[in-house]
Amino acid sequence: MTSSDAKLQKVQTQFEALSAIASSLNTASDELTKVVGILDEALKKLNVGLTVWITFKGGSDEAGDNYDDDQIGYAKVGGKWGLALRNIWGNQSFDDHHEEGPWLFSEAPRQMRIEGVDKIPELIEALGKEAFNTAKQIHVKTEQLRELAGIIEKIAPEQREPQGRK
């Protein structure tokens, strides 16, 4: 057997091993996505309509100017609300910001899905806090607007039908 034949045999053996594990990897990944999908559907039924992001991996330089964060969130992506992932990076000092994604969870890179899943409980908590605060803001704004509408209603002239038209 020549060294070329030995290399080919080694590649063939490695490829066969990769083929076997790839099937297992895909099955496990599909199962993770399926379970997250159940949670995603439950969140959609709540019709919260708020965007929240939680960083699960990242950091910044010593000065804190440059950052690179992977985040999991609840957001509207491609017209659909759901659990989502994104990567954001940039420089705060130069107002230089970039984003890759967001992707709905099932469409995100596999490694991001695996790493982000641990932050789902924190995301649900943050979404609850955001919903509470938003509801409170809406109530305050509604009362302000109700007062304004009452004032305008009192001072607005009564509408009359135009004369001369029949």
What's the pLDDT tens digit per position in 43-78?
Answer: 999 999 999 999 999 877 777 678 889 999 999 999
Residue 160's pLDDT band (cuts 50, 70, 90) = low
Tens of pLDDT along 85-101? 999 998 877 878 899 99
Q: Residue 114 in contact with residue 77, Cβ under 8 Å? A: no
3-state helix, strand, coil in the chain (%, to 5): 55, 25, 20
pTM of the model as a whole: 0.78
Calculate the alpha carbon distances from 87 to 23, 70, 91, 128, 140 in Å: 28, 4, 14, 23, 35
Q: Which residue has the tokens 């969130």?
A: 73
